[in-house]
Chains A and B, each alone.
Chain A
Amino acid sequence: MPISSPIGHLDSDCFYVSAERVRFPCLRGIPVGVLGNQGACVIAKSYELKAAGVKTRVPIWEARKICPEAVFVKRDFRWYEVLSRKMLDVLADVSPLVEYYSIDEMFFDASELPRVFGGSMREAALQLQQRMLQEVGVPVSIGIGESKTMAKLGSDTSKPFGVHTLHELTDKQRFDYLKSIPVGELCGVGRRSQAKLEQHRIFNCLDFIRADSKFIQNLLTIKGEALWYELQGESINKIATSRPPHKAISRGGSLGGKTAIAKQQHAWAVRNVERLIEAMDFHGVFARKFSLSLERPNDYGWGGHVVLSEPTNSFKLLCAVFREMLDRSDSRDKAISHMHLIAEKLSYRNEIQRTLFETTYSTHDGRPITESPIDQLATLKQQINQKVGRFAIRSGETLHLPEIYADETNDYDICDVQGKMCF
């Protein structure tokens, strides 16, 4: 087996609830549900609520029936971000290399842990767990392994508040461990891949690594093959400190009912473009591919996308892009109930050589839209909003949506953290 630095994966246990408990201790020990954007569904739950049988994404009116004693809390992503950065700071203090994987998950180079804390790797990881609890206030689970896949398996299978050091297992222990984990639990094996594997009698991770690597590659492409090596203990996916944390960023949701009025549909699109850009700004990324998906209760839904020649975060350009898609969707006089905007092909801003030329893209009928890459108005808007608070300044085009302005609770409704989308 090749020798490489042990990799750690740290994952907070029921992060949103734990974050709320940091500042509101009376939420400790009781069933707690964090509600999404509109107050309609449970986006995160405490272990007590889970034990009562409430699942994530369940609507509140069902959740309260299943668990009448549950207490519901309004989500506050600003607070979760504050704690997330704190977790990152603690980790960066004990590890030379940290990858911010999601708001509550981080990969890190664990090689220094025993030296920093003293003792074995397991003892060191336990101490790191205590330090997170003391300095940030949130319980975390930690997995250590030779690869990212193994590290993540380790933290996943030690929840809640556990530590799993998989690189220290004997071969026998490792095989028993891998045998206990269904292939579907692997990060990157979706339901379709799982079905394919099961057709070939590959049910658990031990079956998986006992299959031939080329066979796996044929079945699941080279991504599957990488998993095969990672499960063998060979690190293929390196810790990426500059990898954009998400593959896609999405904003949108319910239009607070439905609307067939073109002006209002446009206004929601503009509003969601503002939110999308705000999220891209937070992560420090540009995007090149933009998709729009519309739910129309009385008609087929609609989905479309546009790929630009250059990555961007230009408000003017994105407004044009989404307006074009909205026109193309032919939704005039059709009621839209939900709208989702998705940014993909993300890249970090500092890695991009900003073009001095204008960004051009073609619509489906070949009509070019050109915008200067330097959007002074957007820059100014961003600067003011950073000082005064998110969305203090909004585009005038959202004035067709008085409810957004009337409702304070819509002020910074950022709700979709990867894997936990809820609208």
Chain B
Amino acid sequence: MCQGIALSQCEIPESLIERYELSERIIRRGEGNIEFRFLLAERFPVLPLWHEGQFLILSWGNRNRHNKLPVSAWCSQESLEAGAWHHLRPREVFIPASFAWDRGVWYQVREGLKGVVVKDCDRKQHVYVLTQPATHYYEVMTRNNREPVMVGETI
């Protein structure tokens, strides 16, 4: 699982930084590049994503018990494959990330994470991070027994 991501400046088109007011999210880690952080602990957590060639920033998961969406930030791959999300018509999306954060550990992500986007009863879109059982390595590193599904790699 993960409770946050960081995206290197070079991964986001300049024009979108202004449009989505991303400059508030800028953090410089050490002497490194500028990065944008998206944390689940925020008051209104959001995640950046690419879907059909479009860059979007959507609500991360759902905390509302009355909009028919699962109250969670994550979607387990097993439940997705079992059809538990079928009625919500989930669409798979790509969440770009340079680093991800899980239980206090930042780790490197080569490309990004997989997520699903669904609509609530007000047709507002929400993104959930897709998860799977953690590998031994991941579990030792983060002490979490679930890990996000990553694009092009398994940590």
Contacts and interface: CB of A to CB of B under 8 A. Distances in A.
Contact of A24 (B31, B105, B108, B155): B108
A71 B107 contact: yes
A403 interface: yes
Contacts of A68: 104
Interface string B130-144: 000001111111010
A81 B31 CA distance: 28
Interface string B24-58: 00000111110100000000000000000000000
Given A71-B108, A72-B106, A29 B31 contact: yes
A259 to B, nearest CB: 15
A26 B33 contact: yes
B136 A28 contact: no
A60 B155 contact: no
Given A64-B104, A408-B135, A26 B141 contact: no
Interface string A44-59: 0000100000000000
A72 B107 contact: yes
A408 B8 CA distance: 28
Contacts of A48: 30-31
A403 B8 CA distance: 35
A403 B136 contact: yes
A39 B98 contact: no
A380 interface: no
Contacts of B32: 26-30
A38 B134 CA distance: 13
Interface string A65-79: 100111111100000
Contacts of B136: 38-39, 256, 403, 407, 409-410
Contact of A407 (B10, B30, B107, B137): B137
Given A60-B141, A403-B136, A407-B137, A30 B108 contact: no
A74 B104 contact: no
Interface residues of A, number: 30
Contacts of A407: 135-137
B110 interface: yes
Nearest to B98: A26
A132 interface: no
B9 to A, nearest CB: 9
A287 interface: no
Contacts of A60: 105, 140-141
A24 B155 CA distance: 16
Contact of A40 (B8, B33, B140): B140
Contacts of A143: none
Contact of A35 (B8, B110, B141): B141
Interface in A15-50: 20, 24, 26-31, 35, 38-40, 48
Given A27-B108, A72-B107, A39 B138 contact: yes
Contacts of A31: 29-30
Contacts of B143: 61
Contact of B108 (A28, A61, A72, A256): A72
Contacts of B94: none
Interface of A: 20, 24, 26-31, 35, 38-40, 48, 60-61, 64-65, 68-74, 256, 403, 407-410
24 contacts: A26-B35, A27-B32, A29-B31, A30-B31, A31-B30, A38-B137, A39-B138, A39-B139, A40-B140, A40-B141, A64-B104, A64-B106, A68-B104, A71-B107, A72-B105, A73-B107, A74-B107, A74-B108, A74-B155, A407-B135, A408-B135, A409-B135, A409-B137, A409-B155
Given A39-B138, A60-B105, 10 more contacts: A26-B8, A26-B98, A30-B30, A35-B141, A60-B141, A64-B104, A72-B107, A74-B137, A407-B136, A409-B138
Top 5 A-B pairs, shortest CB-CB distance:
A30-B32, A29-B31, A29-B32, A39-B141, A39-B140
Interface of B: 8, 10, 29-33, 35, 98-99, 104-108, 110, 135-141, 143, 154-155
